[in-house]
Structure formats: C-alpha cells, structure tokens
Structure 1
Amino acid sequence: MNLTHLLTPQAQKMESSLVRELLQYSQQPDILSLAGGLPDETLMPPLPTLAPVASFAQYGPSEGEPALRKQISEIISERGLSVEFKQVLVTNGSQQGLDLISRLVLNPGDVILTEQPTYLAALQVFQLQGAVVKTVESDETGMNPDALKAAIEQYNPKAVYLIPNFQNPAGHCYSLSRRETIASIIDASNILLIEDDPYRDLYYDEVVI
C-alpha cells in the first residue's frame, strides 16, 4: 500500500540527512573523516567492551545500531510482516515514535480515530500537532468494527491509533477475528494504522485471541 499521499507538505519536502550521510562515510575503515566532530579513536582511553556492538567509540547511525535493527526486523517478520532491517528506525521509546509519526502525517485539523478510552500521552502528541481526535466505541475484544466504519464515513480520518494487546488503560486484548475485521476496514479505506504494541510479550497467563 502506498501511503505517501498521507504525508504532510513539510514531510514531503524532507530530504536525506546530510549528517547521516557524512557519518556513513566516516565508518569506512579506509577513510579519515574531517567532516564531523569525530575524535581519533587511537587517542581515546580504553573503553569497556560492548559486544556485539561493532563500533561504540563514535557516533552511531541515527537510525539505530544495525545489529539491533536486524533483530527487530527478525522479530517483526516472525509475527507475519515482511520487514527489512533498513525499514526499522530505533526510537527512544514509543512516545518519540508517536511524535515522529504525527509530524510526518498529521496536519492541523486532520482527524485521527482512537479507542475509547485510550493512552493519554498519545492524545497529547496528536493534539499538539493540531489533529482532531475522535473516539470510537470499544468493547472487551477491541474497537467496534461497525462504529469504526461509521466514524470513517463521518470524519474521513487520516489515521487510526490502536493498542491491540493489553490495551492501555482498559487492559483488553483484541480477538483474532476482530483484528482481521478492523485490518480489512482500514485497508479498504486506504488510511494509516498506527499500532502501539508495548505489552505483547509481557503476560503471565496464556492469552487467547
């Protein structure tokens, strides 16, 4: 699915980071880069080994440590989504991720649909960007599909924000059928799904979905 039409005008004008490009060249062993504030590693005092991180004495790539990104892509692939490590961006927690997504796709006045209730800090991020938050009725197995369809028809939203596993603050988990139904509705509407999933692996009893 091509979602470039959802990007804000500012996001569509974004170009690759020049600093990132410079740092990529500096990591090549045959190059001595004078382009950034990169001290000579041979003059540094000994540092503790941080295996398996390949290089930790200099600035790392802004996308995140490659080994970590590869691990994340493998975990996501095991969950049924085909993801390459170069598509992974490591953030400083989910809050930064929500902020980046909001800056990329939400213009002032754009509508985003959320569960009722939902994560308060996410609401703050969306509203700070100027988005209009509309809540959709939810039950013990997730957002109500009929209510979601009605809200899409009424508000023409830019995105839907969901917490399908151990929802915050309600605590419920979406059933498999509910996930599939909602996914088909969102795909058919060609809008963005923002999935916040911090609790998937944090459970004490077997969860039946």
Structure 2
Amino acid sequence: MTSFLTLACATLICAQDLSLATILLDDQPWTARRDLTIKGPTRQVNGPDGSTYAIVGEGAKRSLEHRPAQGAPVSISVVGLVTPSCLALSPDRGTLAVGDAGGKHIWFFRVNANGTLDAADRCATLRLRPGVLASNVVDVAYDSGGRIFAALPGEIHAFDPIARACGVIASPSSAPIDSFQTNGELLMVRQGSSVMVRMIQPYPKPKS
C-alpha cells in the first residue's frame, strides 16, 4: 500500500543570471558519437539509507515516489508540481532535482539522512516561449561540480550549482531530444538512434 505525503512549497529564490560563457567552449560544436549509448530518461535514482526515488505512472498521471529501504512506498505530492517527468541527485546526495513536464520549473527537495524528502522549492525556472505553460522537460542531470542541466525536446537549459540560470543551449538538430547526460566535460544527448556530444568547460574548483 502506498502512503501519501504532501509538502508545502518554500519561497522562490531569485538571483542574477550567469553567462553561458562559463559553460560552453566557442570552438567545440556538437559532434556525433556512435560509440556511446545513453540510457534514460532518468526516472529512478538511489538515495541515502537504502532509499530510492522514482517517477511512476505514465503521461499526465506520473507522480514522484519515495521508496524507503523498509516499509511501503510514499507518494510525494507538492502543490504546483504538475507532472514530474525526470529526476537527478546532487553530487553531495543532499538535493533531489525533479523536472516538471507540465510546468515551467525544476523542483528541488532536501534529502534527509534517513532518505525522506522535504523543503520542496521551485528554484530553477525554465525559459519558455510566451504563452507556453508546459516545458515537456525530458531529462535533468547534475555534473560533478553541481551544475544543473535540464533537457527539453528542442534545447538544454543550464543552471549553476545554486540554480541561477546560465542560458539555453540549442539542440544539435531539429530531432527531439529524448535523453540527456553529462559528466562535467561533455554534454551528451540522444535523439532517436543518434548520440551527439559537445565539450564544455569543467566547473572551476574552489581555490585552496
């Protein structure tokens, strides 16, 4: 039996946008990589204390679920989170990012040591065309430096580690993106049977 937990949304965080120049390399275009395979979109990740977080259901009926190591799954409901479609765990395993295909935000949840989620917040806003209310975001990912990338069918939205917008990266082609990954050095997208990559700048390490 699945339990239900409804979380309140914290306040939005507003900050100065950063430039894509902190991410992209001018002399590095998208290139095809036939040797790579990209799985996804990411709809399940493992958290602390044996917990798992998953997107369950299909289409407009998708929902976010916390599966503790012991006990029944808990359905996570948040006012304003319309259609969760993808998720990613931050490098420090302290934040769960959830893409909302039915809205225009990436949501963030605090991950507690026992695996429970709280402090839901829609910090990162996806820049959609006027009048468009649903992002249809298909995948979300962190790189090793904590930067956040959200892949929509036709573009990739980039954010710094505290969810400040960096800009929108054009898709490699007109084919819709159906999966996305990054390792901090490459952006990797799958468009049907094709995998395209683009080299990026690694996130700068703090000075010692």
By relative contact order (CA 8 Å, sep 6+), the higher-ranking structure is 2
Assess same fold via TM > 0.5.
no
**Structure whose CA Rg is larger:** 1
After TM superposition, the score normalised by the length of structure 2 is 0.22
